[in-house]
């Protein structure tokens, strides 16, 4: 009986890990406001507010610099950012530490520099933004559309060509296309008056 329960638990864990968009907790409908506004809690950008990003498509990434899964995902993340930023994608990495030495801003700054991360990083040392999005995993990705609605999420490693990454990028492309179409409609409306 114990072996059967263990096997069932392992099967459930395996299915969750490899699910197309593994999702245990339903994220809030609207992305919560960032919980860290001090300049000392930001790397590569001045303080940002979610409210000021309305009208843009935002990808949020929860990570920590010694997380192996986060590091393995970094090539996909950098590539996706490079491919989509000219279409308006804003990427904000939310560094939420697992270990005590990952709480030190100087250690995070050194890791960001060493890893070649150029997009904004918010230091979430108190897990307040982690809790606001009801997140539980590293890495985790949340796609926020121009209206501030959380449109998709992915948990775990993402890699170029992988089905889960393609699915997340499909949501990303749709959000960007919706933004492009809305911008076209606004431009046509302004020029027709």
CATH numbers and ranges of domains, the chain: 21-191 (3.40.30.10)
Give me the pLDDT at residue 27, please. Answer: 56
Inter-axis angle of helices 68-84 and 163-191, nearest 10: 30
- Is pLDDT larger for residue 1 or for residue 84? 84
List Cβ neighbours of 147 (8 Å cut-off, separation of 6 or more).
Answer: 54
Over residues 144-154, the pLDDT tens digits come to: 999 999 999 99
> Mean pLDDT, to the nearest integer, of 13-26?
42
Q: Is the pLDDT of residue 14 over 80?
A: no
Q: Please give the distance of CA 16 from its chain centroid, rounded to a whole number.
A: 19
Predicted local distance difference test score (pLDDT) of residue 106: 98
Span 20-27, mean pLDDT? 46
**92's tokens:** 């904000």
Decide: 66 and 98 in contact? Cβ < 8 Å. Answer: yes
| For residue 10, pLDDT beyond 60 | no
pLDDT of residue 95 exceeding 50, the answer is yes
Q: Is the pLDDT of residue 185 over 70?
A: no
Residue 64 has pLDDT above 90, yes or no: yes
pLDDT in tens, 96-130: 999 999 999 999 999 999 999 999 999 999 999 99
**Whether pLDDT at 73 is above 50:** yes
The rounded distance, in Å, linking the Cα atoms of 125 and 146 is: 27
Whether 20 has a pLDDT exceeding 70, the answer reads no
Position 170 pLDDT exceeds 50: yes
Query: Which pLDDT belongs to residue 178?
Result: 87
* Whole-number average pLDDT of the chain: 85
What's the CA gap between 154 and 143, in Å, rounded? 9
Helices marked H in 44-118: 68-84, 105-115
């Amino acid at each position: 009986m114990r072996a059967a329960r263990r096997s069932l638990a392992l099967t459930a864990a395996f299915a969750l890990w490899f699910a197309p968009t593994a999702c245990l907790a339903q994220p809030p409908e609207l992305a919560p406001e960032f919980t860290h506004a001090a300049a000392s809690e930001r790397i590569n950008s001045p303080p940002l507010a979610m409210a000021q990003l309305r009208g843009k498509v935002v990808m949020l990434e929860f990570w920590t610099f010694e997380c192996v899964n986060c590091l393995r995902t970094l090539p996909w993340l950098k590539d996706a950012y490079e491919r989509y930023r000219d279409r308006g994608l804003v990427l904000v990495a939310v560094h939420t530490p697992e270990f005590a030495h990952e709480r030190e801003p100087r250690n995070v700054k050194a890791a960001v520099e060493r890893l070649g991360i150029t997009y904004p990083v918010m230091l979430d040392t108190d897990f307040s933004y982690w809790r606001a999005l009801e997140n539980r995993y590293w890495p985790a990705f949340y796609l926020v559309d121009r209206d501030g609605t959380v449109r998709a999420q992915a948990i775990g490693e993402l890699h170029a060509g992988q089905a889960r990454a393609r699915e997340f990028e499909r949501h990303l492309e749709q959000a960007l296309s919706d933004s492009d179409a809305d911008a076209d409609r606004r431009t046509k409306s302004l020029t027709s008056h």
